Amino acid sequence: MISVACAASLLRFFIMAFNPPVAVLFVTQTLHAFSFGMGYFGVVHFIANWTSEDIAAEAQGFATMLQQGAAFVSLMLFGVLVGHFGAGAFFASALFALLGMGCVLWSLKLKPPKDA
């Protein structure tokens, strides 16, 4: 699920970097439903499968805190990038989505899913 979220983000940000017309942006922004929804459920699924029940709530809270902190830092840096590069700043977001997809694939190679 997390890799699907990364793929949707990569496509969305790559398209947005070319400053498309509003009609294209409207369709492109619907990919946010996949990137956010699949990413959220992927993290919840990951925590449910890889933590014990006695710390699952703490793990979910910690993951949410990390997400909020990363969002704050990302938005601050993205504002600076937009000031310098305009719509081209979305290439940085696409690069981070690609990096996230690489991390997911690497983690699956290091430790395959329990049902594999």
> pLDDT tens, 77-93?
999 999 999 999 999 99
Which alpha helices (DSSP H) does the chain contain, by range?
Answer: 2-16, 22-29, 31-50, 56-85, 90-110
Is 115 inside any structural domain?
Answer: no
In terms of residue numbers, what domain contains 62? 2-110
Is 116 inside any structural domain?
Answer: no
Is 54 inside any structural domain?
Answer: yes
Structure tokens at 21: 């017309």
Cα separation, 116 vs 96, in Å, equals 28
Is 103 inside any structural domain?
Answer: yes
pLDDT tens digits, residue range 24-69?
999 999 999 889 999 999 999 989 888 898 999 999 999 999 999 9
Over residues 65-75, mean pLDDT: 95
Domain count, the chain: 1
Is 65 inside any structural domain?
Answer: yes
Is 79 inside any structural domain?
Answer: yes
Cα dihedral value 93, 31, 86, 100, nearest 10: 0
Is 73 inside any structural domain?
Answer: yes
